[in-house]
Amino acid sequence: MSKTVLVLVETVDEYLPLLEQAGYRLIRAPNAQLRAAAIAQHADEIDAVLTRGPLGLTASEIQALPNLQIICVIGAGYEQVDLTAAAARGITVTNGAGANAAAVADHCLALLLALLRNIPNADASTRRGEWNRVISPSVSGKRLGIIGLGAVGQAIAKRASLGFDMPVSYHSRTPRKELAYTWYDSPLRLAEAVDVLVIATPGGAATQHLVDADVLKALGAEGYLINIARASVVDSAALLEALEQGCIAGAALDVFDDEPNVPDALKALGNTVLTPHVAGQSPEAARDTVTLVLRNLQAFFAGEPVLTPVRG
Best CA proximity match to 145, nearest among 106, 181, 103: 181
Best CA proximity match to 209, nearest among 240, 236, 172, 227: 236
pLDDT at position 76? 87
CA angle 288, 292, 296 (to 5 degrees): 170
pLDDT at position 311? 84
Catalytic residue among 25, 143, 277, 287: 277
> What number is the average pLDDT over the span 193-218?
96
Q: 38-42, 66-70, 173-177: lowest mean pLDDT where?
A: 173-177
Q: What is the mean pLDDT of the chain?
A: 96
What's the CA gap between 163 and 149, in Å, rounded?
18
Share of residues in the chain with pLDDT > 90 (%)? 95
> What number is the average pLDDT over the span 93-108?
96
pLDDT above 90: residue 118:
yes
Q: Name the pLDDT band for 97 (thresholds 50, 70, 90).
A: confident
- 259 catalytically annotated: yes
Share of residues in the chain with pLDDT > 70 (%)? 99
- Which domains does the chain carry? 4-99+283-301 (3.40.50.720), 101-274 (3.40.50.720)
Q: Name the pLDDT band for 297 (thresholds 50, 70, 90).
A: very high
Q: Name the pLDDT band for 1 (thresholds 50, 70, 90).
A: low
pLDDT at position 113? 98
